[in-house]
Structure 1
Amino acid sequence: MPKIIICEDENIVALDIKRHLERFGYEILGMYDKAEEAITACPAINPDLVLMDIQLSGSMDGLDASNIIYKKYNIPVIMLTAYADDITLSRAKDGLPFGYILKPFEERELKTTIEIALFRHEMDERLKKSEARYRTLFEQAPTANFTADEDGTITDCNSTFIKLLNFANKESVIGKSIFTWFVNADTGNRLWQSFLNHTNSVFQDWELQKADGQKIYTLATLSVLSESGGQPREVQGYLLDNTERRDLENQLRQAQKMEAVGRLAGGIAHDFNNIITAIMGYANLLQEDIHDNPELKEEVDGILSATQRAVNLTRQLLSFSRKQSVEAKVVNVHEILKDLEKMIQRLVNENIKVTLALNAANPFISIDPGQFEQTIINLVVNARDAIRGHGSIIIQTKSILCDNSCHHHGLKKGRWLQILVQDTGCGISAEDLQHIFEPFFTTKEKDKGTGLGLSTVYAIINRSGGQIAVESTPGEGTSFFLYLPEVEEQQAPELKTASTSIEVTRSGTIIVAEDDSYIRGLISRLLSKSGYRVLESTDPEDAIRLAEQETDFMLLTDVVMPKMNGYELAARLSKGRPGLKVLFVSGYQDRSFITPETELTVKSLFLEKPFSHEVLLQAIDKLAAL
């Protein structure tokens, strides 16, 4: 049963109250006639309730004592008095009593008042614990929690909210409008009004700006606590920093775009390769025929120059479509950048200063060397074109160890080599930043860019297991961050000394199997002029018929042909000819989609289209020497 102490200076009244309470089953821990004595006894005996008269014999009355007992020891107090004047009642209210009984009182009234006071105190304690739990959850939550009125004015927030917006303390936030931190206040107000029209919780994407100006993306969960009339009273909000996830989603969308366009580009590039091979080959023939005619030589050189530009364009298409053959090697980035330095200096104007800051502790990565060079050149050319007048380009390397707390552009855990290409050019607008890695997107003037440079860079870095990020401020400059996984240094194999070249005498029979008449005619003419006997076949079946009439020959075949591919043709012709030599040619650098069904027993080489006269003959010479 509850334990009670009585503070009453009239002993007869105190004994009467004690008798009533004991009959009710309450335990009386003590009776005191002075308020000071009751206050002293409370922490020692810890009663559940105090019955206290207002007028006492000591220097302190019951109203002052009840205030101390409740606030200091959290013990409920019921006031007893024979006075019911307004002044006394007003003081009693200020003393926060849990009950007020006028003398004389009935036994039932005494018990009822005590039970109500004990119940009310228990409910208050539960409420305090509930509020404490809520405050703990509110303050210590990993989400940025806040409360606001219906106009969006912040009334409370937790430490995560303060940290998210990069403020020093809570006072810097309380009383300010939530729209203060929206990148676009009108958008924020529209989202807020839309939310107030809902009765349930809503989820919204907010683009906010920190105190230092940095933009972040958050997922906001909002709900309204309404009054009985249905009018909004308080808004509760929870913000989750969604910046990293949004960046990853953007990277995924970019990768999907690149994959889709890449599939298209790969097919187009194959057709381009056939056309370019024909143009390049016939231009080579013209070049050999015109001898020293300067006018014709200039025109043919123009054709070859345009052809080379077409070759480079095709390579870029194949690069981001992942159809260009690559050979990843462990390379020293510092050595590559040092080798490229002179070329870079020639690419930029004299009024642009180029600085290398090679600070990485481990400069070794695994990547195709040619593609890495292409990546750096593309970024430098873009930086050059962005600079008007005097400026600078910095190429810097740095080793980064990314742990669980790493925030470098959404990097995964591990050791990374960061390559920074930074310029002081005109910068890139926020709108254009969303599209710069898209194929054929360019902000350059007509005929100044293809829109494939950054697409190619993105594809190369992504294919090599890395990531690329960009930061730019219009009018100040742009920084491209390349992140590639660090690897351990590998010793390069010792190169054998090349043998002294000797003049090659070309002769023999070559069967050319190519379904494209222009390419077939060109190859046949080039080989015939070089001393070979050439047998042309329009398809694999025609090549088989020609081979049946020959005893010694080499085979030059396209890989992709109707009815039978080049590998199948080589397998058919190799039966009974174990020493057959085959040169496979194709405009598809990625040949993974078509492979020999069985292991070929022939001696073979592969030549990528487009190729020049010299490259074709070198491949044939190398094949003949096998």
Structure 2
Amino acid sequence: MSRFRTSPRLAAPLRAALAPPGAFLLPFLMLPLLFGAIWLWFDAEEMVAPGHLPVAFAAIALSWYLLGGALSLGRWRQAVLARRLLRARVPSLQAQSGQIWASDPSGQVLWQNDAASAAHGDRLGSAVSTPLARLSADPAQVIDALRIRVAGGGVASTRLPGGSLTLQSLDSDALQIWQFAPFDAAAEAPVVPSVEAPALHGCPEKDLFDRLPAALLRITANGRIAEANAPALALMGSIPEDATLSLLLDGLGRPVDDWVDDVIHSRIEARPEVLRRRAGADLHLQVALSPDGHGGVLAMLSDASAMKTLEAQFVQSQKMQAIGQLAGGIAHDFNNLLTAISGHCDLLMLHHDAADPDYSDLDQIRQNANRAAALVGQLLAFSRKQTLKPRLIDLRETLSDLTHLLSRLVGERVRLTFEHDADLRPIRADRRQFEQVLINLVVNARDAMPAGGRITIRTTNVVRGADCKRTQLPLGDYVRVTVEDEGCGIPADKLDKIFEPFFTTKRTGEGTGLGLSTVYGIVKQTGGYVFCDSAPDRGTVFSLYFPAHEIADLHAATEAEAAEREAAAPPLVKQAHAGVVLLVEDETAVRSFAARALRMRGSRCWRPTVPNRPCNCLPAPSARSTCS
């Protein structure tokens, strides 16, 4: 196929000229022009002779005259053929409905019916684009598109804002029939007798519409739902008579009926939209509209709940990532401020004993600074930017050391029990952070049982695919830690939000909303998984899964750590406070506090003026006596 296509308006006269008999006469008629040009080129010296020049010009003029005659002959032949075809078609065209024009290939109107005359006036002899300009904003583009589709013969249609425009090409474009059928007359017969699609296995159209597996609605030109097949009724339930789509669906941001009307009248592109069902359970549907050929549209409905769930999860992950980046960014600066506050508070407390009236105020400052520091730790855990020191740990030993603290946290009305696997395998985690995870989960379980109850902590070895059916876990061996309570449970609509930062079901002032998000951050940073199973009034179970390691590796790691501690033990010195200390800190408040603390311990402190280049700022040995 050629990459370039000639415009139909320019190609018509050329095809006429090249059609027989012009196709045979044109080469011979051009020979005098060719001979005259060759003669003038090679006989340039004699061209100035008095008799040669008129002869040459006469030959050229005769060639052009004969060429024009050939072209005129082609056009005359084409016009005769078009009028002959038109005379044969006029009776059938007069019986058709709609606005009809007949034109030659150049677009000149040769005939029009009464409907076209009543709507647009007498257009005989004018271009067919003149009446079409009242039907389309760009008639030239519509005409060219249809002519390209019917080049050489055929039928093509396109939708205009007020109806359907059909072009039929007869006898290699010798005659073109244009028909505009308004939407209110779309049910009438077109120019070309329509060929009905063969019924599927002999089923009538109505039976085929009902038996299609897709949920379909037939919507009329005025926006009313005329028909719904069985899958649509199963998806939407009962549909009231003469209901519109707005009565059943919403969530578009504008009236759904306006959207349907814009698609019916081709004012917008018919793109699928996701809408929400008004009645019944929350259900999202993807609705795609398509013209039905009768002035209305067919609406195909499909369940988009899974797609909306994935979209919500993606948005939630982006929100969690953004909050995590914000938390990790401010935590470092906030921690520096807290270090300076608590450090200077400690310096003040050294000059006040417990009987001093100001001592209690200073103690309150220190306690609240420590609480703020713990909050910073939770922010870092949530953002997964805290520095972990993972090592192989035995959970039975860790929980045994934590029992006393947990028992004090739960109080007297809550009973705390432990159940351990006899052959429990070790895990690799930061012990302090794992303890923080257990403390957060136990505190939440305690708060869920205000009247008291039992909290059970279990540790077991599990194998994904054998005794563990959670498909979210990769295949492998795990150590599972579960924290189970007998509390009020978590509603299903809030279960997917519990790990969000600052989300809490507690009353105002009773929680920060960072407890479970901190658990989630620590477990994920450790390489584990966390799940929650809960139902109202049936308690809650949090399950933590960590990759399991071999027991022999734990023994080897314990021995290696003991050897490292012994080798790293500092030698005893008689004068622990002698010498000069190089202090490098970019935060002014922290640097000031640290320098004062070192001077109180008897050390001399050198603080470079450019913290980023301390090595270049070291004083000479003779000048170190001036250090503060």
TM-score (norm 2): 0.50
TM-score (norm 1): 0.50
| Bigger strand share | 1
